[in-house]
Chains A and B, each alone.
Chain A
Amino acid sequence: MNIYTRMIIVLTSIGLISGAFLAGVGTLTKNRIALNKQREINEAIMTVVSGAQISSKIYEERDLAVYKVNNEENELLGYAVYAGGVGFQDKIYLMFGVNPEITRIYSLTVLEQKETPGLGAKITSEKDFLQFWKNRDCTKEITLHKPAVNSPEQLSPSEVNIITGATISSEAVVNIVNLALEKIRALKNEGKL
């Protein structure tokens, strides 16, 4: 057989067999991967809106999704907002819960981040960062409190604590939240929520 024909036949066969094999693997794992993602979102909703039982996605755009959250008696508890934006090294994706009037943030959790380990990555730490996001007044813009304080009582209602050594990451989270709040308020006024 001509060497060129052989090269073409061998490479094509390897490619075809690999492709078929991967298609199989992809089909087998696809559902599970989607399920993982869904479970992560559901867990986050439960964390940011306490008492959440039923949630449904009511709005989605790039880097923003809004979930309507109801309790067992089907009363509206508020909204869980999934938002993403630029962090220090890569995009940060987070979720926070707000009341139905969008005047109060219940709490916040970070879903995805690639900030510096030990510094910016503290945005996922309850003790260093997340505890200061509980019950914030969001009628005004959320602002950062500098320098860092030790307990949430030392902050005014619309302030959150900064992480020492990770100003950019802290600011990034605040910006993502403020931007998302602005957007969902606009959506609310348009009657889309």
Chain B
Amino acid sequence: MAEKTISNEFTKGLWSENPIFRQLLGLCPTLAVTNAVVNGLAMGAATTFVLLFSSIVISSIKKLIPNQVRIASFIVVIATFVTVADRFLAAFFPDISKALGPYVPLIVVNCIILGRQEAFSSKNPVFRSIIDALGMGIGFTISLLILSSIREILGNGTFFGIPLTGAWFKPWLIMILPPGAFFTLGLLMGIFKYLDKKRK
């Protein structure tokens, strides 16, 4: 692969290597927490935070870590930042922390984060890793926002908790239940694929 420019390193997370729509990574939290926009945003922000700081640490100490224990080391570093994010949410945003429930601690096993450490941060310098982590994190957050906006508007008639539709609108309950997550994700993935094909 040819050397990528810094801007490429950033934008690949948004489109060509988008973690949700192209790499299909981290789908469990994606499906589970996108029933409201605020939850999607909080999950995206928490994941980006963990991804960014894990990438900084891993890319700085990559030369010290023996190959045989690299995964274990990555996981310990990731788990540390996840716990920080979890405590921070519980202390300062108790409502969001409650709504996300077990999905914050479960960021530890989000494949996007471990995947980026293994595929990128452990092979690239700190600055590039930061750019990569930001691109992937923001790509993930935007994808969650798209998914949760569709689900919240159709399933609850609100956006960020603000009522959008009048009394005439009967919310599609299924959209905020698990099947709605699968339907929406499937359709969006199809649209993404179609747009990508058209672009080429």
Contacts and interface: CB of A to CB of B under 8 A. Distances in A.
Given A3-B66, A25-B83, A10 B35 contact: no
B51 to A, nearest CB: 17
Interface in B77-134: 77, 79-80, 83-84, 87-88, 90-92, 94, 98, 101
B60 interface: no
B69 A10 contact: yes
Query: Interface SS of chain B: helix, strand, loop or mixed?
Result: helix
Contact of A15 (B76, B94, B155): B76
A126 interface: no
Interface stretch (A46-54, A67-75, A111-119, A172-180): A111-119
B84 A118 contact: no
A36 B173 CA distance: 32
A117 B177 contact: yes
Interface string A1-20: 00100110011001100100
A103 B20 CA distance: 56
Contact of B76 (A6, A14, A32, A114): A14
A149 B92 CA distance: 40
Nearest to A119: B173
Query: Interface SS of chain A: helix, strand, loop or mixed?
Result: helix
A10 B156 contact: no
Interface string B13-27: 000000000000000
B188 to A, nearest CB: 20
Contacts of B101: 114
A60 B88 CA distance: 28
Nearest to B75: A14
A18 B92 CA distance: 22
In this complex, the member of A15, A18, A112 whose beta carbon has the largest number of chain B beta carbons within 10 angstroms is: A18
B72 interface: yes
Contacts of B184: none
Contact of A118 (B87, B91, B177): B177
Contacts of B83: 22, 25
Given A7-B68, A117-B35, A118-B176, 17 more contacts: A7-B69, A10-B64, A10-B66, A10-B69, A10-B73, A14-B73, A15-B76, A18-B76, A25-B88, A29-B88, A33-B87, A36-B90, A40-B94, A116-B177, A117-B177, A118-B173, A118-B177
5 closest A-B pairs by beta carbon, nearest first, are: A29-B91, A18-B80, A32-B91, A29-B87, A36-B94
Interface of A: 3, 6-7, 10-11, 14-15, 18, 21-22, 25-26, 29, 32-33, 36, 40, 112, 114, 116-119
